[in-house]
Chain A
C-alpha cells in the first residue's frame, strides 16, 4: 500500500479542510487498498507558509496550498490573483493561469520550481473586509482601523484607506481581536466562523475584493512515480471534489454571512456614491502601488484576459 500524506493548515471545521478530507476518502475508496491518503489537518505537520516547501522537498506527498500566501514569494506575478477587482470569478482566475500564454508561463515557473503538480482546486473563499470597530459604510469609516496584515499585497489598500496595519499570524488573530490590538481583517467569510473570529467581528463589507484560491498540490516526483491507474484516480477525484468545493464555496460564504447576521452582525454592501469613492481610491492609489508588485506585462495580460473572458 502506497501512502500519501496530505498536510493542511486548516482546522477540520474549515471548508477547505473538509473538502481535502472528502478528496482523501474518495481516493482511498477507489484505490481499493492500493493507495492511502492520510490528511494531517490543523498544521500538525506544516503551517500555511511552510507547506509549499514541504511538498517540494517531499516531506509530505501532498499539501493544501493557499495561492496568495505561497506563490508570490516565489513569483511575484502571482499577485495578480489578489489584485482587487481584477478577476470576477474563480473560473476566470484559473482560466488565466491555465489558458493564457502569460498565465501559463507564471504557473509553469511556479510548478517547476516547487516540483509540484496541481491535483485539486480547493478555494478558501471570496475576500472581504470585516471589522469589530464600526460599520464599514465607506472609505471614511475605514480610516484609523487597526487592520491585520497577512500578505504583502494587502499593504497598499490599508495604507490608502489610512488604516494601521499589524502583522500577525493566523494563530495570533483571535487573541489580537480579543485584546483590541487589531479590529479589522481581510478574510473569506468561512474563516471568521472556522476560527471563531466572529466572536469579535461584527461588521462586514461587500463587494468581495478578490477570490482567494487554494490548491491541493502533489510532489511531482512522487506523483509521477505512481502507476498510471492511481494517477488517474487522483486526478479524477481531484477534478470532481474540486468542482464540488468550488460550487459550494460561494454558498458556504453566504450561509456563514447569514449566520453572522443572525448573531447580530451587519453586512454593508457599498453602492452608489460610496462605491464610486471606493473604486476611485482603488484606481488612484491602491492599484498603482500594487502594480509595482507585479511586472507590467503580467498585469496587462491578466487585465486583458479578464476583459475578454
Chain B
C-alpha cells in the first residue's frame, strides 16, 4: 500500500497535479488503506497544524510586505540604496542587493521582495547595460535573503515544525543573511566591473533619500524590538508591521489608495491559501510518517550505517538541492524537515544550524529550473521569457553551493546570535 501510494504520488507530481493534491492523495491512500485510520484523522491533524498560533504570522508578514510594496516604501529604499553605492562599478546591481536586504528586514514574502525591488531596479539596470539574464537571476536569488533576514516566513514554518521559538530562528538567520549579502555583492562587483556607473550622489542627495526612506527603515526595529523586548508575539509584531506599513503608505508616502489596499488583501489571501493548502495536506503525510515511525527507522538506519556528522550534512544538502530543483521550498519544508530535525538531534547538532543549512540548499531551488518560482517571478516583472535567463543559473548555483558549504562548516554563524538571547 505504501509503495502504491508513493508511485501514485510521483506520477501525479510529474503530470503537474497541484502539489497539495499530490500530498493529500498519496497520504490518504496510505493512511486509510494502509494504516486503517479513520478518514477524519487527516482532517484533525491538519486542523491542528493550521491553527498553530505562530503560523498566523505568515499571512501577516506577507500583508506587510505587500503594503510596503504598494505604499511606496520599496521605492524609497531603492533610491536610498542607489545613492549609497550607485557610483561603484556594478553599483546598480549592488544597490539592488542592498535594497533587497533592507526589504527582507520587514517582509516575509519572497514574491513581494522580488516584485517590490525588482520592478524598480531591473528596468534601470538593463537600460544601463547589465545583461538581462544576469539581472533576472540576481533578482531571483536576492529573494533568498528574504528567507534568512528576519522576519522570515521560512523561519516561521521551521519553528512551526520543530517547536524552536521563532525569536531564535529569526536570530539564527541574521549573520548568514549578511554573509550571503556580502557574497552577492562580491559577485556583482566582479561580474559587472566593466559596466559604467552612475555619478556619485551628493551628500545632500544621500541625506534626503535617507530621510525619505527613514520611516521604512525603522520598521525592523519595531518588529524585532517588540519581539526581543518581550512586548509582542511574532504574529502581533507582524500585525503591527502591517498596520504601520498601511499608515506610512497612506499618511507619509501618500501612495496607498483604498483600492490598492484591497489588492494587498487579495494578494495576501491568495498567497496564503496557496501556502497553507500545502501545509494542510503535507500534514496528512506527516501523520503517515509518525504512525509508521519512519523518522525513527531512518535514524536507526543512519546510525547502523555509521554515518558521520559531516556526511550527514552533505547528504542533507544534496537532498535539498535535488528536491529544490523539482519542488518548491514550502513542500520541501514539510516533506523533509520533520525527519531532518530528528536526525539532527540524534547527531547532537543544533536545530538552528539545520535551519540555516536547509534554507541555503533548498533556497537554491528557487533559481534552478524547471521549478524556480524566483526566476519566473523576476522574469515576469520585466515581461521576459524565463528560459532566456537560465544560462546564468549555473554561476549563481555554484555561489549558492559555496555559501551552503560555508554554512555547514561554521555552525557558529547560525548559533552564536541566538545564544546571546
Using a CB–CB cutoff of 8 Å, the interface residues on chain A facing chain B are 5, 40, 44-47, 50, 53-54, 57-59, 169, 171-172, 174-176, 178-181
Interface band, chain B: 20 to 34
Within the complex, which residue of A57, A175, A180 is in contact with B38, where a contact is CB–CB below 8 Å? Answer: A57
Known contacts: A175-B165, A175-B167. The answer to whether A57 contacts B48 by CB under 8 A is no
Q: Are B231 and A57 in contact (CB under 8 A)?
A: no
Known contacts: A57-B38, A59-B38, A181-B231. The answer to whether A169 contacts B290 by CB under 8 A is no
Using a CB–CB cutoff of 8 Å, the interface residues on chain B facing chain A are 37-38, 40-41, 44-45, 47-48, 53-54, 163, 165, 167-168, 227-231, 233, 287, 290-291, 421
Determine the chain B residues whose CB is within 8 A of the CB of A58 once the complex forms.
Answer: 37-38, 41
Q: Are A174 and B165 in contact (CB under 8 A)?
A: yes
Complex Cα spacing A171 to B53, Å: 11
Q: Are B40 and A59 in contact (CB under 8 A)?
A: yes
Determine the chain B residues whose CB is within 8 A of the CB of A40 once the complex forms.
Answer: 290
What residue of chain A has the Cβ atom nearest to residue B168's Cβ?
A175
Q: Are B231 and A171 in contact (CB under 8 A)?
A: no
Complex Cα spacing A40 to B286, Å: 14
Within the complex, which residue of B165, B230, B291 is in contact with A180, where a contact is CB–CB below 8 Å? Answer: B230
What residue of chain B has the Cβ atom nearest to residue A38's Cβ?
B293
What residue of chain B has the Cβ atom nearest to residue A5's Cβ?
B291
Q: Are B167 and A172 in contact (CB under 8 A)?
A: no
Q: Are B163 and A171 in contact (CB under 8 A)?
A: yes
Q: Are B167 and A54 in contact (CB under 8 A)?
A: no
Q: Are B165 and A53 in contact (CB under 8 A)?
A: no
What residue of chain B has the Cβ atom nearest to residue A167's Cβ?
B53
Determine the chain A residues whose CB is within 8 A of the CB of B45 once the complex forms.
Answer: 45-46, 50, 59
Determine the chain B residues whose CB is within 8 A of the CB of A45 once the complex forms.
Answer: 45, 287, 290-291
Q: Are B228 and A179 in contact (CB under 8 A)?
A: yes
4 closest A-B pairs (Cβ-Cβ)? Answer: A179-B230, A59-B41, A180-B230, A175-B165
Determine the chain B residues whose CB is within 8 A of the CB of A179 once the complex forms.
Answer: 167, 227-230
Q: Are B290 and A44 in contact (CB under 8 A)?
A: yes
> Which label, helix, strand, loop or mixed, suits the secondary structure of the A interface?
mixed
Can you list 26 contacts pairing A with B, beta carbon distance less than 8 Å? A45-B45, A45-B290, A45-B291, A46-B45, A50-B45, A50-B47, A53-B44, A54-B44, A57-B38, A57-B41, A57-B44, A58-B37, A58-B41, A59-B37, A59-B44, A59-B45, A171-B163, A172-B53, A172-B165, A172-B233, A175-B165, A175-B168, A179-B229, A179-B230, A181-B230, A181-B233
Within the complex, which residue of A44, A50, A172 is in contact with B44, where a contact is CB–CB below 8 Å? Answer: A50
Q: Are A54 and B41 in contact (CB under 8 A)?
A: yes
Complex Cα spacing A175 to B230, Å: 9
Q: How far is the CB of B168 from chain A (nearest CB, A)?
A: 8
Complex Cα spacing A40 to B287, Å: 12
Complex Cα spacing A45 to B168, Å: 25
Complex Cα spacing A251 to B47, Å: 38
Q: Beyond the given A40-B290, A59-B38, please list 15 additional residue pairs across the A-B interface where CB-CB is below 8 A.
A: A45-B287, A45-B291, A46-B48, A50-B45, A50-B48, A57-B41, A58-B41, A169-B53, A172-B233, A175-B165, A179-B167, A179-B228, A179-B229, A180-B230, A181-B233
Complex Cα spacing A54 to B44, Å: 7
Determine the chain B residues whose CB is within 8 A of the CB of A180 once the complex forms.
Answer: 229-230
Complex Cα spacing A81 to B395, Å: 65
Determine the chain B residues whose CB is within 8 A of the CB of A172 once the complex forms.
Answer: 53-54, 165, 233
Complex Cα spacing A57 to B47, Å: 14
Determine the chain A residues whose CB is within 8 A of the CB of B167 once the complex forms.
Answer: 175, 179
Q: Are B40 and A57 in contact (CB under 8 A)?
A: yes
